[in-house]
Amino acid sequence: MPRLNDRWALVTGAGRGFGRSIAVGLAREGCNVAVHYNTSALGAEAVMEEISAEGREAFAVQADVTRWEEIRRLADEVFAKVPRLDILVNNVGDVAPEQMSWRDVTEDLIDRVLAVDVKGTMLMTHEVGSRMLEQGGGTIVNVCSNVVVTGSPRAPQYAASKYGVLGLTKSYAGAFAPRVRVNALGPGFIETESTVNREDWRSGRREDVLAKTPLGRIPGPDELVGVVVFLASDESSHMTGNFVLCDGGFSMVGA
């Protein structure tokens, strides 16, 4: 029996990259999926086709997660279409990929990253989580990062934003308990299309990360979907406010 059979999930930023893999991976576990996108409409359509091929239902919803009125509209649309929303995956994020050094930071880059990663995650968690409480329960999974352990000398605002996501995870886990669980996963580098096309990735960063990763490989997005499924499923029923580090041992931490 699939672990998420006949449940409904909403995945943000699901039109490409890790979000796309999460949406399809949830469908393979029996989940129906609301596919969120902001600008990747064609990507969202392709993801829905993949979900349909798994025998599950899907529909797309568009919104800018940095605007509360759009999040309210998105939530209205989703909750009107599904009998119950069981899972929210806050995947959408901005790593400022064009920034190669802390010296290159600008006020616009600071504002953009914090707006998407912190404000967007908070608005989605607040709006959707509140409605989950009203329906009697649910599970929220936030995509964080191992930069909460390592920091980010390249883009300090990105590390600050993911510390914010971790703080939101713990805060709403307490606020929504015991009916809605909120957890986070902390991946390291994932070889998505956007990662492999980064200038620093093509000029030595990949080799440096590999050399410092005990498991000796950098995963594609599909490899980490299992962690999301675990956090979304009843297998993690006694976990909330947790941060699950999954970066191949790159940033091992003590108890």
In a domain, 212, yes or no: yes
* pLDDT score at 118: 98
pTM to 2 decimals? 0.95
Q: Which member of 37, 158, 163, 172 is catalytic? A: 158
What confidence category does residue 255 fall into, taking pLDDT thresholds of 50, 70 and 90? low
Give me the mean pLDDT over the 108-129 stretch: 98
Q: Is 158 a catalytic residue?
A: yes
Residue range(s) defining the domain that contains residue 56: 8-246
Number of domains in the chain: 1
By residue count, the chain amounts to 255
* pLDDT score at 230: 98
In a domain, 224, yes or no: yes
As a whole-number percent, the residues of the chain with pLDDT over 70 amount to 100
Could you give the CA distance from residue 251 to residue 207 in angstroms, rounded to a whole number?
A: 16
- Cβ(6)–Cβ(15) under 8 Å? no
As a whole-number percent, the residues of the chain with pLDDT over 90 amount to 89
In a domain, 141, yes or no: yes
For the segment 50-93, what is each residue's pLDDT rounded down to a tens digit?
999 999 999 999 999 999 999 999 999 999 999 999 999 999 99
In a domain, 252, yes or no: no
Could you give the CA distance from residue 230 to residue 25 in angstroms, rounded to a whole number?
A: 11
DSSP per-residue string spanning 125-174? HHHHHHHHHHHT-EEEEEE--THHHH--SS-HHHHHHHHHHHHHHHHHHH
In a domain, 127, yes or no: yes
In a domain, 1, yes or no: no
Q: Please write down the long-range contacts of 94-100, taking CB distance under 8 Å and 24 or more positions apart.
A: 94/158, 94/161, 95/155, 95/158, 96/155, 96/157, 96/158, 97/194, 97/195, 97/198, 99/154, 99/155, 100/154, 100/199, 100/200
Give me the mean pLDDT over the 196-221 stretch: 88
In a domain, 180, yes or no: yes
CATH number of the domain that 152 lies in?
A: 3.40.50.720
In a domain, 188, yes or no: yes
Give me the mean pLDDT over the 14-19 stretch: 94
